[in-house]
Amino acid sequence: MDSGLRKHLNILDYTLLSLWRRRLKNLSILLVFAGVIFLVASFELVTQALTETADRALRNVPEITLQRLSAGRQETVPLTYMERLRGIFGIREIVPRVWGYYFDEVSGANYTVMGMDRRRMPGGKEMDLALARGDMPDPEERGAAVIGQGVETVLRQKGGSLLSLFRPDLSQVSFEIAGVFAPATDILTSDLIVLHPEDARDLFRIPSGMATDLLVYVANADEVSTIARKIATLLPDTRVLTRTQIRKTYQVVFGWRSGFASVCLLTALTAFVIFAWDKASGLSPEERREISVLKILGWETADILAIRFWEGLLVAGLAFVLGCTAAYVHVVFYDASLFRPVLVGWSVIRPDLRLLPTPELANFLLIFCGSVLPYLAATVIPAWRSASVPAETALSGM
């Protein structure tokens, strides 16, 4: 065998022996390190999965949503605004929407109630495909509701088959459950109740001829910003939201939450690296003596660094693989049960969606660079400092 190759095999052999000799210390570092990487990687994967899910769900959102503001507060929009908008070239369809939040005092849950005429919505038929069971009610049919998984869970807990809600004057109104949205759409539909527009108006006591907002569908996607600008000019008391802006809001929400958590976790990671540095830079007298003895016996500085490098790489690399694998299993197979409350929301009804992240090399590379490389530096640099000094001190027993 080539002597250079044998030398490296012997160095690896010595490294494994050295790791084994300090197995308790190395095992504890490995476990702590793997735990920190698991947390960081889990957040990365959950954030990515949520952003992707939200992105998919937002594909059917109208290009423009029009709301009316008065004194900075949202007001209902007169349906007469629709007529004024028809003059703008490029608008394909305008659909009025009635929506609001409904607080259920019994369960403590907040529902999102929405009423709209899906016949007029491009892609409205696709809503049938988003149902796990039942059908979207006939557009003319009153008294029927389609609900999300979360609402259904609350309803089941109450033991009723009808959805009973209260108007502002506390008079009760009940709805038949016509269908339930699929879990895949949970992030947007979990707390949703879809009603006939007139039923929604009746529930919230919104006057006839008014809507909460107008959904504007545009024929040419390139014209969205131009049309949005024209609407804002034509109706100065309105707020014009484009789909891009809504998507950005979602990204900011998830980005903020994951960013907040990431900062906490990166702090933990940094603390670990500082701890490792402190541990490694403060080489014990035994470790320093070992390095001196090895040098005297003919080991080169490079050999000692190679041992330290392999030791660090094996511990940190194994921790990285373990941490990332555990994070993937945690997110994909256990739906990130540890972090869902932080990232998905604090509402009583938490979306029960399945998370399917697409592992991206760049994300793992970032975690690798932020964890394994600093640990390697924390291991090798002090050993280099120690190995670079003359070894004659070992002659006199230090």
Partner 1 sequence: MIIQCRCLTKRYPADQGMVAAVNNVNLVVAQGEFVIILGHSGSGKTTLLSLIGGLTEPDSGEVLVNGVDNWHQSDEALSDMRNRTIGFVFQFASLIPTLTSLENVLLPLSFGRVPRGSHEQAREILARVGLGDKMHAYPGQLSGGQQRRIAIARAFINQPAIILADEPTGDLDEETENDILRIFRDYNEHGTTFVVVTHNVHLARTQKNPRVLEMRQGTLLEQDGRFA
What residues make contact with partner 1 under the rule CB under 8 A? Answer: 3, 6-11, 13-14, 17, 21-22, 286, 289-290, 292-303, 390-392, 394-397
Helix residue ranges, H only, the chain: 3-21, 23-57, 80-85, 126-129, 149-158, 186-189, 197-204, 224-234, 243-281, 285-296, 301-332, 340-343, 361-388
Return phi, psi of residue 172, to 5°: -95, 145
60: three-class secondary structure by DSSP: helix
Shortest separation between residue 317's beta carbon and partner 1, angstroms: 23
Q: How far is the CB of 27 from partner 1 (least distance, A)?
A: 15
Our CB check for partner 1 shows the closer of 19 and 180 to be 19
Nearer to partner 1, 311 or 335 (CB): 311
| Count of Cβ atoms closer than 10 Å to residue 6 Cβ | 11
Provide, rounded to whole angstroms, the least separation between the CB of residue 9 and partner 1.
8
State which residue, 230 or 295, has the beta carbon closest to partner 1: 295
- The residue (of 10 and 267) whose beta carbon lies closer to partner 1 is 10
Is 104 in a helix, a strand, or coil?
Answer: strand
C-alpha 306/C-alpha 179 separation (Å) is: 65
First to last CA, the chain: 38
User: Closest separation between CB of residue 300 and partner 1, Å?
Assistant: 4
Query: For partner 1, which is the closer residue by CB, 278 or 300?
Result: 300
Integer Cα distance of 213 and 235 in angstroms: 13
Residues forming beta bridges with residue 147, ordered by sequence position: 180, 193
Q: Residue 354 CB, nearest distance to partner 1 (Å)?
A: 49
> What is the distance between the alpha carbons of residues 252 and 313, in angstroms, rounded to a whole number?
36
> Shortest gap between Cβ of 11 and partner 1 (angstroms)?
7
Minimum CB distance to partner 1 smaller for 7 or for 350: 7
